[in-house]
Amino acid sequence: MHVLARICVQRPVFATVISLSLLVAGVLGYVGLGVDRYPDIDIPFVVVNTALPGAAPDEVATEVSDKIERQVNTIGGIDELTSTSTIGSSQIGVRFNLQKNIDVAGEEVRAKVALARRDLPPEALEPVVRKIDIGAFPVVSFGISANQSMRDIFEYVDKVVRRRLETVDGVGEVRITGGRARQINLVLDPYRLQAYGLTPADVSSAVGKHNAEMPGGTVERGDRQLNLRTLGRVERPEEFNDLPIKYLGTRQICIKDVGYADDGEARATSSASVDGREAVVIEVIKQSGANALNVVDGAKDRMAVLQKAMPKGYQVQVVRDQSTYIRASLHAVREHLILGAVLAALVVLMFLGSGRSTVIAALAIPTSILATFGVMNLLGFTQNQVTLLALTLSVGIVIDDAIVVLENTYRVLEVYRLSPHDAAIRATREIGLAVVAITLSLVAVFLPVAFLGGITGRFFKSFGITMACAVSLSMFVSFSLTPMLCSRWLEDPTEGDEPAR
Look at the alpha carbons of 355, 360, 361, 365 in this order and tell me if their dihedral is positive or negative: positive
In angstroms, the CA 396 to CA 336 distance is 12
In angstroms, the CA 481 to CA 461 distance is 30
By CB atoms closer than 10 A (0-12, 13-18, 19+), residue 239 is middle
The chain-wide mean pLDDT, for the chain, equals 87
Q: What is the distance, to the nearest Å, from the Cα of residue 358 to the centroid of all Cα atoms in its chain?
A: 41
In angstroms, the CA 6 to CA 180 distance is 75
pLDDT above 80: residue 216: no
Look at the alpha carbons of 484, 489, 491, 492 in this order and tell me if their dihedral is positive or negative: positive
Continuous segment of H or E residues that includes residue 51: strand 45-51
- Confidence (pLDDT) at 340: 79
- Confidence (pLDDT) at 501: 39
Strands 280-286 and 45-51, by their bridges, are unpaired
- Confidence (pLDDT) at 135: 65
CA-based nearest residue to 486, from 12, 20, 1: 12
In angstroms, the CA 405 to CA 410 distance is 9
Contact 282, 161 (CB under 8 A): yes
In angstroms, the CA 343 to CA 345 distance is 5
- CA dist list (Å): 402 to 10, 78, 307: 18, 50, 56
pLDDT above 60: residue 180: yes
CA-based nearest residue to 294, from 486, 487, 140, 481: 140
Give mean pLDDT, residues 57-74.
Answer: 92
Look at the alpha carbons of 87, 90, 91, 92 in this order and tell me if their dihedral is positive or negative: positive
Confidence of residue 495 (pLDDT cuts 50, 70, 90): low
Query: Within 13 A of 321's CA, how many CA atoms are on the CB side?
Result: 15
DSSP per-residue codes, 364-432: HHHHHHHHHHHHHHHHT-EE-HHHHHHHHHHHHHHHHHHHHHHHHHHHHHHHH---HHHHHHHHHHHHH
Condensed to tens digits (0 to 9), the pLDDT of residues 9-64 reads 999 999 999 999 999 999 999 888 888 878 877 778 899 999 998 889 999 999 99
The amino acid that residue 322 corresponds to is Q
Query: Within 13 A of 33's CA, how many CA atoms are on the CB side?
Result: 27
- Confidence (pLDDT) at 304: 93
Confidence of residue 251 (pLDDT cuts 50, 70, 90): confident
The amino acid that residue 468 corresponds to is A
More confident residue, 12 or 219: 12
Contact 110, 117 (CB under 8 A): no
Condensed to tens digits (0 to 9), the pLDDT of residues 381-396 reads 888 888 988 988 888 8
- Confidence (pLDDT) at 90: 93
Give mean pLDDT, residues 419-436.
Answer: 91
More confident residue, 461 or 233: 461
Q: What is the distance, to the nearest Å, from the Cα of residue 93 to the centroid of all Cα atoms in its chain?
A: 21
- Confidence (pLDDT) at 500: 41
pLDDT above 60: residue 496: no
Condensed to tens digits (0 to 9), the pLDDT of residues 318-345 reads 998 988 888 887 788 778 778 878 888 8
Helix 355-362 and helix 322-352: axis angle, to 10°? 140
pLDDT above 70: residue 263: yes
Give mean pLDDT, residues 421-438.
Answer: 91
Condensed to tens digits (0 to 9), the pLDDT of residues 94-112 reads 999 888 888 889 899 999 9
Give mean pLDDT, residues 204-225.
Answer: 78
Return the HEC string of 123-159: CCCCCEEEECCCCCCEEEEEEEECCCCHHHHHHHHHH
DSSP per-residue codes, 62-97: IIIIHHHHHHHTTSTTEEEEEEEEETTEEEEEEEE-
- CA dist list (Å): 193 to 245, 248, 261, 328: 11, 13, 15, 64
Taking the CA atoms of residue 354, residue 355, residue 361 and residue 363 in that order, the dihedral angle to the nearest 10 degrees is: 180
pLDDT above 50: residue 464: yes
